[in-house]
Amino acid sequence: MTGIIQLRAKAAPLNRANVDTDQIIPKQFLTAVTRAGYGKHLFHDWRYLDLEEKVPNPEFELNRPEHQGSEILLARENFGCGSSREHAPWSLTDYGFKAVIATSFADIFYGNCMNNQLLPIALDNSQMDKLFAAVDADPQVQIEIDLPAQHVRVGEHSFAFEIKEHHKYKLIKGLDAIGETLELVAKIDAYEQQLPAWR
């Protein structure tokens, strides 16, 4: 997997709090046994008026012509709450999103992003207000994300964001986490040797 470093793209606004994983990718699409092809079902219940996904809901923000091709998603607090389904980041990346900027994220979803090269950025509500306003004023406005420098820029606004060093490293390098841990196999062996029988 290639790493994320800089991104300059337009953003689709989803001005809602508590966007849960059941909304991101409903249960009927979790019966697949592969990682690919979830993008067409992203936000299914909001995005389509029918179960067959033939009639787009014109009211839904992501369906507006001006937001097609967006690589950044904007949302409010507690994005990705609910189930641990990794199908949520799989569907967002398959749709074409590379970053989600929101007020806050649920823990499991946030962790799942790291394993899928999807960059979650948390900004406070007043900063989110400015991003939503910028996209509202000009849907084509380019939002710039600089991961190494930990900056989001739009127009004259520039916001710093927090990210843990090891998360940043992983997103930039796109590492094989399992391969990295397997280098510590001697320590895992040693740990197992001293375990009491009851465990």
Q: How many residues does the chain have?
A: 199
Buried-exposed string 13-33: b where 16+ CB fall within 10 A, e elsewhere: bbeeeebebebbbeeebeeee
When the beta carbons of 110 and 159 are compared against another protein, the nearer one is 110
Shorter beta-carbon distance to another protein: residue 10 or 118: 118
* Structure tokens belonging to residue 126: 């007043």
Q: For another protein, give the closer residue by CB, 156 or 198.
A: 198
Tell me the β-bridge partners of 74: 13, 101
Binding residues vs another protein (CB under 8 A): 16-18, 20, 22-23, 26-28, 30-35, 45, 51, 76-78, 81-86, 89, 103-108, 111-112, 115-116, 125, 164-166, 169, 177-178, 180-182, 184-185, 187-188, 191-192, 196-199
Between 88 and 143, name the residue whose CB sits nearer to another protein: 88
Q: How far is the CB of 12 from another protein (least distance, A)?
A: 18
Minimum distance from CB of 122 to another protein (Å)? 10
Quote the least distance from Cβ 189 to another protein, whole Å: 10
Of 65 and 179, the one with the shorter C-beta distance to another protein is 179
Q: State how far the Cα of 59 lies from the Cα of 27, in Å rounded to an integer.
A: 23
* Cα dihedral 185, 35, 65, 60 sign: negative
Q: How far apart are CA 160 and CA 153, in angstroms?
A: 9
Residue type, 174: G
CB of 106 to another protein, least distance (A): 6
Residues 128 and 130: their CA atoms lie apart, in Å, by 5
Taking the complex as a whole, the smallest distance from the CB of residue 139 to another protein amounts, in Å, to: 21
